[in-house]
């Protein structure tokens, strides 16, 4: 990693560095003043790749330009605006607005110094202000992936929480260390705050941000770190014992902390609706799953304790102060007769029912669901998903004159979208999905197999085609995503090496050889020009131009002959 830039240095003849705000593994943040905007303060993030060499630097630049474009899509007053990107001295820089205020980590530390923490009303106000921000960025296919008390600033100007330090910056800084790799980055996020599907599998969904927001809330409420609130032995959260809050609010937080992404709230709008129902006792909280124990992602869900079946009779307990019926011989005889009668009637009914049933023994077990899966508090039969087959939508990719193609569409759950095109061996193919979250692509050959290991389930591809033939770009949704809009940008390198060879070879023979032949043609037309004059003596005096032309024309005519 290159050393930090000294204070006072001016970047791009515009940004003067005032101080260093922070430094991480692959990035550094400076406080600068913009000399072209009346010395307005802004923040610059420096991403310092370790790769050296011309080819690696070019790939790093391409990755930087492509990934940084995601940040410029965000337009929200509670998100710092990313102004521009630039490169200088093989250093990559991102410029964004500077937010003056305190992080919620600093606010919590100040409260803890007084023996206090944030109140339920304060965290509810925080959630009510941040959830619309998440709703906005998620609608654009952007996931923060690094929500924590350190990355939320209470802005001094309007006392509103501002979301900073998007995880895409960390991912970009990490991926710049190895631009050739297309493997998902699994280290983006904060341990304890980010769910395991993000930290271990590299998969992030909108409700992954909701999970991190819930962890942030219980840390602010209890003043304890996630490692203190999470039981590693039982793989469950135990935060309620450290703070007393509204039970309905507890239900909302517990569902946000659910170990399965599918069992959490699917988007920020559902959380907003659930929070609005907290103060309305007569209104049930939508999709209440408070009876489920919250378990961390990657842990095994505890098996529920089996409850007594309502059809199972409770054991009879004889009264302690009364005499037993077995002491009466008449009662014993009556009971025996009743048992014999009931046994006979029951046997007859059983045989009759068996005879009356149709001889289709395969239908009965097919209509029963012996092992239901508990998901979100409801019983989901296990055989249901096996009958669902994906819907394949095939289209032909149409390239323009520059050999590029852009497709905007929507992919839904249980759909596979395929775009076919013809390619030649050695052609360079570039395919990029925007946004790159929630959808992956694969480059398939004529046998519907990935053309290489880097062309299978990736957000983008850049490589050479191995053979001449038909290819397919296949798009699929990542697990847990039900629907997503996308823009597919494809560029296929033009093959122009063979076209110039036949055009330049024949051109010199027809163009240069007729030029001396064309020059003598005007000489016979110009030489008879003095013949039309009727008079003999005035011919040279009346038309001096006619006498000059025959004099000038013979000179070029004699040169080709020589």
Q: Which of 89, 97, 146, 263 is catalytic?
A: 146
Q: 146 catalytic, yes or no?
A: yes
> For the range 119-123, what are the long-range contacts, defined as Cβ-Cβ under 8 Å and sequence gap of 24 or more?
120/221, 120/243, 120/245, 120/246, 120/249, 122/220, 123/217, 123/220, 123/221
Q: 386 forms bridges with which residues in the sheet?
A: none
- CB contact at 8 A, 42 and 98: yes
Q: Which 8-state DSSP code applies to residue 464?
A: E
Asked if the bond preceding 435 is cis, omega within 30° of 0, the reply is yes
Q: How is 478-547 classified by DSSP, letter by letter?
A: PTT--EEEEEEEEEE----SSSHHHHHTTSHHHHHTHHHHHTTTHHHHHTTTTTT---SSSHHHH-HHHH
For β-strands 391-396 and 415-423, DSSP reports them as parallel
- CB contact at 8 A, 142 and 75: no
- CB contact at 8 A, 212 and 194: yes
- CB contact at 8 A, 42 and 32: yes
Give the H or E element holding residue 271: helix 268-276
- CB contact at 8 A, 441 and 459: yes
The C-alpha atoms of residue 508 and residue 147 are separated, in whole angstroms, by 69
Residue 131, Cβ neighbours under 10 Å: how many? Answer: 20
List, edge to edge, every strand of the sheet that includes 101-103.
Answer: 101-103, 152-155, 161-163
Catalytic residue ranges = 146
């Amino acid at each position: 990693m290159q050393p930090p830039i000294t204070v006072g240095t001016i970047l791009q003849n515009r940004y003067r560095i005032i101080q260093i705000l922070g430094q991480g593994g692959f990035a550094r943040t400076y406080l600068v003043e913009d000399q072209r905007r009346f010395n307005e303060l802004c923040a610059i993030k420096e991403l310092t790749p370790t790769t050296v060499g011309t080819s690696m630097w070019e790939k790093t630049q391409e990755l930087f330009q492509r990934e940084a474009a995601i940040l410029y899509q965000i337009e929200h007053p509670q998100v710092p605006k990313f102004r521009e990107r630039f490169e200088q001295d093989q250093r990559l820089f991102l410029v964004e607005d500077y937010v003056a205020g305190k992080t919620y980590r600093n606010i919590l530390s100040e409260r803890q110094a007084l023996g206090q923490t944030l109140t339920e009303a304060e965290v509810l106000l925080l959630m009510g202000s941040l959830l619309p921000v998440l709703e906005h960025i998620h609608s654009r296919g952007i996931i923060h992936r690094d929500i924590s008390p350190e990355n939320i600033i209470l802005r001094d100007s309007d006392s509103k929480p501002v979301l900073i330090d998007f995880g895409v910056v960390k991912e970009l800084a990490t991926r710049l260390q190895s631009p050739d790799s297309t493997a998902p980055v699994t280290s983006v996020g904060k341990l304890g705050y980010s769910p395991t599907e993000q930290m271990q599998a590299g998969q992030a969904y909108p409700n992954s941000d909701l999970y991190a927001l819930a962890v942030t809330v219980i840390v602010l409420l209890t003043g304890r770190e996630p490692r203190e609130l999470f039981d590693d032995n039982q793989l469950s959260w135990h935060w309620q014992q450290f703070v007393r809050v509204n039970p309905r609010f507890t239900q909302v937080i517990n569902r946000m902390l659910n170990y399965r992404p599918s069992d959490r709230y699917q988007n920020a709008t559902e959380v907003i609706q659930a929070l609005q129902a907290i103060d309305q006792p007569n209104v049930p909280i939508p999709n209440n799953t408070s009876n489920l124990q919250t378990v961390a992602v990657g842990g095994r869900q505890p098996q529920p304790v089996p409850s007594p079946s309502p059809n199972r009779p409770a054991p009879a307990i004889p009264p302690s102060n009364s005499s037993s019926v077995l002491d009466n011989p008449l009662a014993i005889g009556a009971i025996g007769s009743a048992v014999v009668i009931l046994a006979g009637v029951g046997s007859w009914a059983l045989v009759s029912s068996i005879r009356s049933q149709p001889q289709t023994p395969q239908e009965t077990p097919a209509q029963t669901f012996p092992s239901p899966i508990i998901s979100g508090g409801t019983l989901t039969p296990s055989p249901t998903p096996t009958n669902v087959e994906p819907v394949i939508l095939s289209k032909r990719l149409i390239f323009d004159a520059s050999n590029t193609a852009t497709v905007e569409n929507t992919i839904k759950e249980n759909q596979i979208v395929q775009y076919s095109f013809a390619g030649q061996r050695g052609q360079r193919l570039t395919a990029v999905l925007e946004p790159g979250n929630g959808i992956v692509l694969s480059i398939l050959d004529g046998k519907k197999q990935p053309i290489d290991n880097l062309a299978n389930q990736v957000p983008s591809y850049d490589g050479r085609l191995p053979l001449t033939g038909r290819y397919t770009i296949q798009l699929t949704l990542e697990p847990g995503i039900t629907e997503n809009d996308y823009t597919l940008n494809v560029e296929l390198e033009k093959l122009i090496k063979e076209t110039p060879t036949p055009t330049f070879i024949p051109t010199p023979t027809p163009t240069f050889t007729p030029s001396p032949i064309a020059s003598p043609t005007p000489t016979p037309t110009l030489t008879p020009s003095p013949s039309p004059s009727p008079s003999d003596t005035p011919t040279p005096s009346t038309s001096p131009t006619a006498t000059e032309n025959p004099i000038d024309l013979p000179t070029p005519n004699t040169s080709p002959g020589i």
